């Protein structure tokens, strides 16, 4: 049975952002130069639908901040700003304002401050923020550090596994790494980016439907919709032949075609989506699954949730650098939890791995 969503106050969301910012200004990573910490909090993220969890988090955060403040002085040249996202797209708008300050007012010469952006939200919030940064020149990005905290429903694209690890990361157990992205280019549309997994087919349709409903229910709506979609998706989108041109990681080319109902491409292997559904459980970063009878669909669905689908018939796994998909009908595309419908004129669809100069803080073992 669905439970109606409850929310917490904006003040609670703001306090959580401010608390993590207080830890950030005491981080050894930003201790040697001026730093502006921007905590961007999305109060509509899944974490904030659980009032008891929020209050428990606030309790231990208050203790950690008090203990840390007594033991570690903040960077004397630090500033904190907490931004509460008010609408979809607002995290990206806030980053745009930060960039305007960084580029137009501070310039990029001399010894300007770092801008440390804490993204306190779900995968959609993280994606909006990184999308604003991905095309910036290196001399700008070298003054920006991002930290994606796991405060969504699934948190498949966060830099740490949980909020306790986020606090430890900020207090010295973290390192810095570059972000790899997927550049997604549908024919006739503007390019877009994903930082976890992009996919087409039934899972993208489930994402589209879940996004329309998840703000109304406090549950794993993705899984419930996926369970139902196995039955009616073929009626809405009958399987047709999908051709895939694959550029493998070693440079070799491969062409496959079949009635693939799901094709998922990640920035690496060992990745999940849709609230920890392990579509890419091994080293391979490409998975394509063919259509099959209903009985075996149900069996495969349960195996897929646990990442145990890899040896099943009709499951293609590859290490790939680029894919190009050819299809003659509409399909849904999802990228880091956002979903759009592609028409047949939007194919071929090209997706490729690209390196970026965006830097994020993360646990060294994550």
DSSP string, 84-98: E--STTHHHHHHHHH
pLDDT at position 316 is 97
Instruction: Pick the closest to residue 242 from 156, 137, 347 (CA basis).
Output: 347
Specify whether the CB–CB gap between 342 and 332 falls below 8 A.
yes
Fold of 10-179+357-363: Rossmann fold (3.40.50)
DSSP string, 343-364: PGGG-SEEEEEEEEEEEEEEET
Burial classification of residue 6, based on how many CB atoms lie within 10 Å of its CB (0-12 exposed, 13-18 middle, 19 or more buried): exposed
pTM of this prediction exceeds 0.85? yes
Instruction: Pick the closest to residue 316 from 149, 201, 233 (CA basis).
Output: 201
Burial classification of residue 307, based on how many CB atoms lie within 10 Å of its CB (0-12 exposed, 13-18 middle, 19 or more buried): middle
DSSP category for residue 215: G
Residue with tokens 């609408």: 87
pLDDT at position 174 is 81
C-alpha count within 13 angstroms, C-beta hemisphere, residue 11? 0
What is the CATH code for 188-347? 2.60.200.40
Distance CA 18, CA 20 (A): 6
Token pair for 199: 């996919």
pLDDT at position 4 is 42
Specify whether the CB–CB gap between 274 and 203 falls below 8 A.
yes
Distance CA 231, CA 229 (A): 5
pLDDT at position 215 is 55
pLDDT at position 218 is 52
Residue-wise pLDDT tens for the chain (366 aa)? 233 444 578 999 999 999 999 999 999 888 778 899 999 999 989 899 899 999 999 999 999 999 999 999 999 999 999 999 999 999 999 999 999 887 766 665 556 788 999 999 998 899 999 999 999 999 889 999 999 999 987 778 899 999 999 999 999 878 899 999 999 999 999 999 999 999 999 999 988 888 877 655 555 566 677 677 777 788 889 999 999 999 999 999 999 999 999 999 999 999 988 778 899 999 999 999 999 887 788 788 888 888 999 999 999 999 999 999 999 999 999 999 899 999 999 999 999 999 999 999 987 555
Segments of the chain assigned to CATH 3.40.50.10330? 10-179+357-363
Task: Provide φ and ψ at 8, rounded to 5°.
Answer: -110, 175
pLDDT at position 1 is 29
Provide the CA 120 distance to its chain's centre, in angstroms. 12
pLDDT at position 101 is 82
Task: Provide φ and ψ at 363, rounded to 5°.
Answer: -65, 140
DSSP string, 151-182: -SSS-TT-SSSSHHHHHHIIIIIEEEEEEEEE
- Residue 322: which residues within 8 A CB-CB, separation 6 or more? 246, 247, 350, 351, 352, 353
Specify whether the CB–CB gap between 361 and 203 falls below 8 A.
no
Segments of the chain assigned to CATH 2.60.200.40? 188-347
pLDDT at position 2 is 34
Specify whether the CB–CB gap between 190 and 342 falls below 8 A.
no
Q: Per-residue b/e over 73-100, b at no fewer than 16 CB within 10 Å?
A: ebbeebebebbbbeeeebbbebbeebbe
């Amino acid at each position: 049975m669905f439970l109606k969503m409850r929310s917490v106050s904006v003040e609670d969301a703001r306090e959580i952002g401010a608390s993590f910012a207080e830890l950030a200004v005491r981080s050894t990573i930003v201790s040697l130069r001026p730093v502006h910490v921007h905590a961007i909090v999305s109060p509509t993220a899944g974490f904030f639908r659980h009032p008891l969890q929020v209050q428990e988090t606030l309790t231990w955060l208050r203790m950690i901040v008090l203990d840390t403040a007594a033991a570690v002085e903040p960077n004397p040249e630090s500033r904190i700003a907490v931004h509460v996202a008010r609408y979809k797209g607002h995290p990206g708008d806030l980053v745009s304002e930060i960039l305007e300050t960084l580029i137009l007012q501070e310039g990029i010469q001399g010894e300007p401050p770092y801008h440390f952006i804490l993204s306190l939200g779900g995968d959609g919030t993280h994606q909006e923020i990184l999308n604003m940064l991905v095309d910036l020149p290196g001399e700008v990005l070298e003054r920006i550090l991002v930290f994606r905290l796991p405060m969504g429903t699934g948190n498949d694209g966060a830099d740490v596994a949980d909020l306790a690890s986020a606090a430890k990361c900020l207090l010295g157990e973290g390192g810095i790494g570059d972000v790899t992205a997927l550049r997604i280019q549908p024919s006739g549309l503007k390019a877009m980016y994903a930082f976890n997994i992009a996919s087409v087919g039934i899972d993208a349709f489930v994402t589209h439907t879940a996004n329309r409903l998840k703000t109304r229910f406090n549950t794993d709506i993705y899984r419930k919709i996926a369970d139902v979609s196995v039955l009616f998706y073929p009626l809405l989108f009958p399987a047709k032949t999908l051709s895939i041109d694959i550029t493998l990681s070693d440079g070799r080319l491969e062409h496959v075609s079949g009635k693939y109902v799901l094709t998922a491409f990640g920035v690496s292997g060992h990745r999940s989506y849709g609230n920890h559904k392990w579509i890419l459980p091994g080293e391979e970063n490409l998975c394509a699954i063919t259509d099959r009878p209903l009985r075996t669909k149900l069996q495969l669905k349960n195996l897929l949730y646990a990442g145990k689908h890899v040896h099943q018939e009709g499951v293609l796994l590859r290490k790939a650098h680029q894919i190009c998909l050819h299809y003659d009908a509409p399909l849904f595309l999802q990228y880091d939890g956002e979903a759009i419908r592609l028409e047949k004129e939007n194919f071929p669809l090209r997706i490729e791995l690209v390196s970026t100069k965006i830097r994020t803080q993360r646990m060294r073992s994550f």
